[in-house]
Amino acid sequence: MKIGLIVVDDNDLVRQGVIGLLNEQEDLLVVGEADNGFKAVELLERGLESDIVLTDFNMPGMDGATLAEKILHISPKLKIIILTMHQRAEFVDRARAAGASGYMLKDGNFNELFVGIRRVYRGEKFVTVGL
């Protein structure tokens, strides 16, 4: 059984790089991608099934926290992980308040990303060490 992920990031290079890394893991599978929150919501409304949405925080039109709120309204069992460059507490707090289960930094290491995804999938909360 693979953990299904939707990757949402407005930066094509980052999004494609993350997708490539995730798909190299035996137990992870990217089932969808979007370059903004609106497209991610549309994927879910059309019936795309996933376990986790991995999203950037800062995107034009809809930030990651707002996306988390909308996604959880559509599919309350779906888990959200914010993957961002923002290290300030107010961003972490906003993500938590929106219902995100994880908050990780883009400048973290790959292993931490994989561990965080697996822990969130098991129902745990995960925040990058030091935040």
- Within a domain: residue 38? yes
- What is the tens place of the pLDDT at every residue in 83-122? 999 999 999 999 999 999 999 999 888 899 999 999 999 9
Asked whether residue 130 is assigned to any structural domain, the reply reads no
pTM recorded for the entire structure: 0.95
Domain residues for the domain of 67 are 3-112
- The answer to whether position 119 is within a domain reads no
Angle between helices 64-74 and 37-45 (to 10 degrees): 10
Structural domain tally of the chain?
Answer: 1
* pLDDT tens digits for range 26-77: 999 999 999 999 999 999 999 999 999 999 999 999 999 999 999 999 999 9
Nearest to 14, CA basis, from 79, 91, 107, 119: 107
What is the CATH classification number for the domain harbouring 93?
Answer: 3.40.50.2300
